[in-house]
Structure 1
Amino acid sequence: MNLQPFSPRDLIASNPWSSILLTTYSLSLSFLEAIPLSSVYRTYRNFTVLSDIEGYRASLADVGAVGVGRDYDLVPVRCRTGVFHPKIALMTDEAGEIRATVGSGNLTFGGWGYNNEILEYLRPGRDSACFADLVSMLESMMRETAPQGRLDCVTPPDLGPFIELGRKAAAIPGDGGSRLLHTMDRPLDEQIREMADDLGGAVSVCVVSPFFSGHHGVRLLCESLRCERVSVAVPSIAPSVFDFDAAAANGMKVSPVACDTFSDDRSLHSKLFDIECVNGRLIVAGSANATVPALTGANVEAVVARIHDRTPVFGWSPCMAYKEVSLTGEEEPKNRGGAALVLEYGDGTLSGRIVGADGVSGEWEAALAAGARRAAAGKVAVADDGSFTFVMPGDVDPLSFGSSVQVIFVRGSEEVRGWLVLRGFLDAMNRRGPLAREIGRLVAGFGTPAGMASILEFIAREPGALLEAAERTGGGRKANTPSGHLFVTGAFSTKSALDMKETWRAGSGSYAQDDLIDALVRHLARALPGGNDDAGDDEDEEKLDGAGERPQGRQGQGRNPPGKGQRIKKQIIERAFTQLFTKLEKSPAGPSRGNALYVLFDMISRIVPRAEEGEKLLALFLERWLTLAKGARPDEDDQGELDECVAAVVSRLVISESAKAVKMHEFLQSWLGREVPDNFACERSPIAGNLNQELLGRGFSQEEWSGAWRSILGTRTKWNTVNDLRRALLAGDASFVAPEGATDHELAVLGKFAAREGRPDRIYWLERPYAGHRPACKCGVNFPALQEKRLRNTRIATCDYIRCGRVVVDVSL
């Protein structure tokens, strides 16, 4: 037996584990999040904790918990015959590697360091038989959660993947004779006696335990082993001490012993039975105390039994100081009673059950709480069996709390609490891994540049996922999208665990694979820029002149430009947006691009300002967005919101660079298919403080927005020139103004047309846009390169075809 110091943390931090299952009796969520969870934070997809109901109840007082129900699953288990007491860690990675530990320590700071604990490490090959036993235990736990089964578990997790990998581990050849003994099917004392009998029978037994049921637990073990040579370890510090006097009064001869391994300055919490047999030595270590409930199988326990030769493993020596043990006052594990809520959230509905108490039926007032924040959730009717289901108010979004949420039921002086589990979010995290957590934090208003970088890396790999989500959600603006629950409602719909036919919930469930991305699109469309968005939280590097005015020629950055804080790397931004633009370019131009344009606008306006060289990238991406938007104006009923996006984009570009005013005017004319009418100019004039303006340039004044809009509409474009020319020629006005760059031949043809001389078809008014192909004259002949260039630059050219020679004037938009 390896007695070298070893912590479960050493194992959990040694490999990029993707799925972790932990079981415990006592529970500290602050410890869980600080040590085990943080050790695998960047790699895990599924992190599940099975805790006895006592540990669950105690965890409700843990004010330091922030991730329960959203970063990991906490499943309370109530054992109807005793307590749920195993301390197992089971870990797997993406490659199928599996490791396990079985020990005495709970998921607390004491259990992983402050106490004197013992831990068995299991690996396939040497411990293949133990993995077979572990599979048997997990399967028994699944069976016993059936109605009226031994285990009361409102929402059991899916242990199938662990069972499957456990079977594979059990099939690996190995010569180890160790076994994992558990009490799901049989009493522990019987299993220990059978292994001792296989070694010729027990000769002596030494017990290490913090609890003893007085002396009755040791007596039960010795009677089962038919062994009279008994000793009990006496530590320096322990929760309790064996009652040697009561044992002697009942005819038991029990010797106090000690050894350095279990006599340090930490409180003894190790559980071990050192059994010397005729043909070897059996060391049993794990969760089982030397108590009657542990040995008879009333509790759920797990231990590892290893066979050694008869050579002593521990240096036991006589000790008479058992009356001098310093007691910590920790109580023996038992179900102390008390009500708790076990519940989950999905599709705007809370469902679950009050466990651990009778007489809970009736009407309660519900509230959600996280830290100092508390939100009323209305009345809830609880059935006779403690179950309930109720719809959340539309203005209460659990994810918006940004950390773990407790649900509180109050009725008069009675109060019951429980952790809220976002079931759909956990299932999405099981599929998407760390990406789901980053999206969750972003949606809750706690996104970081590092988290956004992870999301962008995903988008760079799968740009179609975001664009398809835009179609499903109407660019995040679909009218029937629930407004009160931007992320969880709808995005993570789930059936109540109380209504499911299967006893054990499948981890993958029936959730759509892209609900998570739909939630991201909705958030991008609707969330207001806030204090947690660090796009503008850094030091303002803007330099003002003596009068406090913005220097001339400044490239506009709003009042809160990117400073020296953490920025998203330029390469990550460019990679993601390049893939999105390229993907959208492959779709047909036109109104069908509308939803994708919405999500692209939202991403550009919310994310790009947080990047390195954000201002430069913002201008580049906004212009590319306009290129993709050309010809995509939707039908009349749906024009408003996209019109507002366009107006904000063109104005923002002009604020940054006033020379772009003519180009932006040309785009607006193309967007509308005509000159910008007065009603459009008035209705779409950007308003400082509105969402689009805040996103694209937080802090810009109304005068800056209005000035940019006026400068755009006040310019004359080349289209204005040729359109005025057309009106003048059709009216016979000889004082027309020709486009700059017109040749003498073209001027002559235009003059004759105005004077009504010559053939009227010598001028061809090109009205059809030709952006995606080469322009052609009325005769059908494409322009040669030089004339095509002239047409695109000056909107006038001459057909070189010898049988044509028309002057072509481009009046298209």
Structure 2
Amino acid sequence: MNALDQHDSPSRSIAEFLKAARWKHALLTTYALSLSYFESEVLRVLLQQGCDDIWLVCDAQGYRSSLLERRSMHVGQEYRIVPVGLANGVFHPKCIHLISEDEQLLMVGSGNVTFGGHGRNAEVFEALVPNEHATAFSDFADFLEVLGSQPDIKIPRREWIEDFAGRAAQAAAGGANQSAQPLRLIHPLGRTAIEQIGEVAATIGTCRKAKIISPYHDPDGEAVSALLEAVNADSGVVAVTSEEPSPFPFSDAAGWSRPVVPQRPKLEGKRFVHAKWLQCDFGDVSLVLSGSFNATRKALGTTDNVELGVLRRVAAPEQLLEWEDCVAPDFQPAERMPSGLGQAEIVYASFDRHDPQKLTGQMISLHEVSGEWSYRVVRTDGTTHSGTTALKDDGTFMVVDQELELFAELPALQIVLKRDDREARGWIQNEMLLSVGARRRLTAGALSRLMRREGSDDDIQALMDYLSIAADKHLRVFDLPVLKSAEHDEQSDSADAAELVRVNLKDLAPMENIPEGIAGAVGAGLGSGDQFETALVRLRRMLLGHGRLKNAASRDGLSSSILAEDEEDVVQRQTPEQVTYSLGLQDFENAIGTMIGECVEHTDRLPGLLTIQFEIGMWMRIHRLEDIDGAFEFLGSWLRRTAQRTTQRQDEVTALSQHFVTSTAIRAALMTSDSKPEQLVGLHDDLEKFFGGAVDRELASASLIDDADKGFAAALAQGLPPHDLNAALSEVLSTRTRRQQLEDVLSTRAAGKDVSADWAVFQSPTGKALHASLHRAGWEKRVKRGIANYEACSHCYITYPRFEKSVFKQERIGRCIHCEKFSLDVTP
């Protein structure tokens, strides 16, 4: 689709695309920005469609102008606005990326997020979908990733880049191209647009004429001249789109070696033409670039700007525009637009999601900013709160002030940073309110259906959306351990029962319906009186109970029913990977992974987050995706990651310790491969890491849910006779860990005895190299105990490269690529 409003090809409006599906995620990029337009015409529609992950990314100039719109009541509360600052150019791409459960739409064009850009002007937008333009979605993912990797481009928040790039790449992987010559997206982050267009043109042949529509030109027409040269065009045409003087110097260009003449494109109406259109005609085919590129040296001939355009080949009979001759208008150079931050300084700031008294942010500036600044938080009615804060070298800052809580939930808040005669201003985002949208979709009805195991795909997605944002608000619910039936009976009359009895083992068996009144045993003692948490406890009981959803058999993609022959080519079943994406499991696990990664200063949150990650991940794979192999692989990877991330006390039974010990036993019980001895070593090694030392058999058994008919063991066994999980755990603990084996290796060699190469610790390539080194003369100079908690060579003290560090962490054997000596980690 393109929106140059031709008589025979009516185009759809931006609003129609916004209403076309129940979008879940939305990214809009722009140079100029009107918040009044965005909130009234774009945001309103997106919210009505159920979209509440909305990112508006704009150039620093557009961001500064938006700060004058104090009547904007949704900024920072219903959507995020992120400024982008460049030293010598502008952030100029205009695109809209919309994502729903099962489809994506990418619009790339010329219109800014303003009344003019989305309606009043004549603009061009290309509407792209993955099943026709897979390569373009791959190009868009690359564009975002390159944008995020540019150190000179100042972007205060970058997680949206990875999120939308990942979704675009996934759409590309599952999509297709409509043509053998797929359209491509090009940008100047690395090479100029003229270079890229010239390379493509050279593969087509001789260009007869290049036609250009652009609202802006260089006073000397330099970019047009360079483009004609790059595509080897015989001549050029520059569009005349109004009765006003033109910014292109037609009188000079008529005498060029590749002359340029004026022509008028046939467009509907008398609107201002803001579209950018470069068309190179090669006889039977044309090469067309549309998007954000103006016909200026800055846009086409340098890598200073951030631009984005669609490059496509069009057959001559399918020409998209008609042209007619006209008289060259008078020349009037265009007003020079500001390029780069220059002396301007702006601020991005947000309230902490958990603490309304904490405000963090970053100043975007090309100048030195470190040191003390005064700040002022400003309400729309003029009320302010002031203080001082210290900015780091990169402009980041943090304010903790109990007075800020009075401002946190107010709309249209701004922050002003001031030092001497310098002043920077910006919007304040409220991360807590921006996170509320997902809970709005997790309704009482959705919770009720999920607890009854009748939840729909929408209900499951709402749950994961909510936990993706607010999991750390409910960690105490997921910290509660599972009690065995006997323990439940013993504790039920105890004064401490409210703090101990949470999930009864007898409720973990598969079941069709939850009995009425089951919340009575789990609802007490949560402390806050929040019925939502009581509901989450019951919901967790459903997750651990592993009861199948009543309507699961009729789900698209996973039904076992057989299609009639005449339907096989029509209906395409979804793979588990596609269902994973459509239900948001990937987004959920990415979000939980991010929360886990942010727990460096709050390690007390780790157990609950790891438990949520495990319980949701296993339940989804087993009973929604019916992917038993995937669940078994996930269980193993979760054990390894958890062992590396946290250390737990052995004498305290928690939900996390129960899952870790029981999952270890399940893995051991279900092993059937020839590498079982090595795998048992790995499991015992992970147990040691998890408990921070040698594992006490009795204490570990206290955390074992040993009834193989209950929980994940029964589901993973797939109907086979139940396994003895106690015996499986004993088998793991009877196998010597890598640490223990390496201790034995050192003591045995110190006694002058050889060590068998059959030991599990020697089976990897690094282990084989260690064994060979141990049995050569002078081994004591090449092999030594590693320094405790030291991820570097204990001989020459040089840090291990990434691969060698990974081997050292996994196998406890460090091999230095510099001195070629070995360091053995034998620290418990």
Q: Does 1:131 align with 2:140?
A: no
Matches within 5 A, 1:147-546: 149-171=151-173, 172-176=175-179, 177=181, 178-214=183-219, 215-236=221-242, 241-248=247-254, 253-261=259-267, 264-296=269-301, 297-311=303-317, 312-323=319-330, 331=337, 335=341, 337-346=343-352, 347=355, 348-394=357-403, 396-401=405-410, 403-411=411-419, 414-427=422-435, 429=437, 432=438, 434-435=440-441, 457=445, 513=471, 515=473
CA deviation vs aligned residue, 1:166-204 (integer Å, no higher than 9, x gap): 234323233322111122232111211122222213211
Deviation at 1:242, TM superposition (A): 1.2
| Residue type at the aligned position of 1:380 | T
Q: Which secondary structure does the structure 2 equivalent of 1:41 belong to?
A: helix
- Displacement of 1:388 after TM fit? 2.1
For 1:166, the aligned partner's letter is: A
Deviations 1:405-432 (Å, cap 9, x if unpaired)?
1112234554321111223543564xx2
Q: Aligned with 1:409: secondary structure?
A: strand
User: What is aligned with 2:43?
Assistant: 37
Partner amino acid, structure 1, of 2:143: M
Please tell me whether residue 69 in structure 1 is matched to residue 81 in structure 2: no
Relative to structure 1, the CA distance from residue 322 to residue 74 in structure 2 (aligned partners, 3 Å threshold; closer, same or farther) is same
Q: TM-score, length-normalised on structure 2?
A: 0.52
SS at the partner of 1:107? coil
Residue-by-residue CA offset, 1:624-678 (whole Å, 9 max, x unaligned) = xxxxxxxxxxxxxxxxxxxxxxxxxxxxxxxxxxxxxxxxxxxxxxxxxxxxxxx
Aligned residue type for 2:38: L
Could you list the per-position Cα deviations for residues 296-350 of structure 1 after superposition, in whole angstroms to 9, with x for gaps in the alignment? 232111111221122443221111152399x996947655641111222213322
Q: Does 2:527 match 1:595?
A: yes
Q: Is the 8 A contact 1:200 1:279 kept in 2?
A: no
Shift of 1:59: 1.1
The alignment partner of 1:396 has SS state of helix
Does structure 2 conserve the Cα–Cα contact (< 8 Å) formed by 1:8 and 1:101?
no
In our comparison, the structure showing a higher alpha carbon Rg is: 1
**Alpha-carbon separation, structure 2, partners of 1:47 and 1:222:** 40
Distance 2:226 2:341 in 1: 22
In 1, distance between residues paired with 2:427 and 2:127? 31
Partner Cα separation in structure 2 for residue 107 and residue 598 of structure 1 = 41
Q: 1:15 aligns with which of 10, 18, 21?
A: 21
CA contact (8 A) 2:85 2:340 kept: no
- In structure 2, relative to structure 1, the CA distance for the partners of 1:32 and 1:581 (3 Å cut) is farther
Q: Is the 8 A contact 2:342 2:366 kept in 1?
A: no
SS at structure 2 position matched to 1:36: helix
> 1:434, CA displacement in angstroms?
4.4
Aligned length: 471
State the distance in 2 between where 1:516 and 1:369 align. 33
Deviations 1:672-729 (A, max 9, x none): xxxxxxxxxxxxxxxxxxxxxxxxxxxxxxxxxxxxxxxxxxxxxxxxxxxxxxxxxx
Q: Which amino acid aligns with 1:164?
A: G
1:59 aligns with 2:66: yes
3-state SS of paired residue (1:221):
helix
Distance in 2 between residues matched to 1:22 and 1:601, nearest whole Å: 35
TM superposition score normalised by structure 1: 0.53
Q: Distance in 1 between matches of 2:142 and 2:418?
A: 41
Give the residue type in structure 2 aligned to 1:305.
L
Amino acid at match of 2:110: S
Contact kept in structure 1, 2:245 and 2:330, CA below 8 Å: no
Q: Distance in 2 between matches of 1:345 and 1:53?
A: 21
Change (3 A) 1:205 1:388: same
1:104 CA drift (Å): 0.2
**1:122 Cα deviation after fit:** 0.5
CA–CA separation in structure 2 for the residues paired with 1:8 and 1:416 = 34
Q: What does 1:579-728 correspond to in 2, within 5 Å?
A: 582=517, 585-587=520-522, 592=524, 595=527, 597=529
| SS of alignment partner, residue 151 of structure 1 | coil
Determine helix, strand or coil for the equivalent of 2:408.
helix
Residues in 1 aligned to 2:368 and 2:22: alpha-carbon distance in whole angstroms: 47
Unaligned runs of 5+ in 2: 3-8, 453-464, 477-513, 536-828
Equivalent AA in structure 2 for residue 90 of structure 1? H
Which structure 2 residues correspond to residues 762-777 of structure 1 after superposition, within 5 A?
A: none
CA distance in 2 between counterparts of 1:330 and 1:13 reads 38
How do 1:103-122 residues align onto structure 2 when only pairs under 5 Å count?
103-122=109-128
Q: Would the alpha carbon gap of residues 241 and 336 (structure 1) be closer, same or farther in structure 2, given more than 3 Å must change? A: farther
CA deviation vs aligned residue, 1:473-526 (integer Å, no higher than 9, x gap):
xxxxxxxxxxxxxxxxxxxxxxxxxxxxxxxxxx999965152899xxxxxxxx
Distance in 2 of aligned mates of 1:587 and 1:130: 52
Query: Structure 2: how far apart are the matches of 1:580 and 1:63?
Result: 54
**Alignment RMSD (CA, Å):** 3.6
SS of match in other structure, 2:15 = helix
| Residue aligned with 1:108, SS | coil
What is the identity percentage for the equivalent residue pairs of Structure 1 and Structure 2? 28
Partner of 1:561: none
Would the aligned equivalents of 1:115 and 1:269 in 2 still touch at CA under 8 Å?
yes
1: CA distance, partners of 2:245 / 2:251: 18
Asked if structure 2 preserves the Cα contact closer than 8 Å seen for 1:199 and 1:278, the reply is no
* Of 405-414 and 278-287, the range deviating more from structure 2: 405-414
Superposed CA deviations along residues 49-103 of structure 1, whole A, max 9, x for unmatched, are: 22111111111111232222221111111233411111111111123x1111100
Instruction: Kindly state the Cα deviation for residue 396 of structure 1 after the two structures are TM-superposed.
Output: 3.5
Q: Corresponding residue for 1:780?
A: none
Task: State the secondary structure of the residue aligned to 2:412.
Answer: coil
The separation in 1 between residues aligned to 2:407 and 2:280, in whole angstroms, is: 53
Structure 1 residue 376: deviation in Å? Answer: 0.9
Counterparts of 1:158 and 1:337, CA distance in 2: 27
Looking at structure 2, the residues matched to 169 and 260 of structure 1 have their Cα atoms a distance apart, in angstroms, of 36
Aligned partners of 2:28 and 2:96 also within 8 Å: yes
Contact 1:428–1:516 under 8 Å retained in 2: no
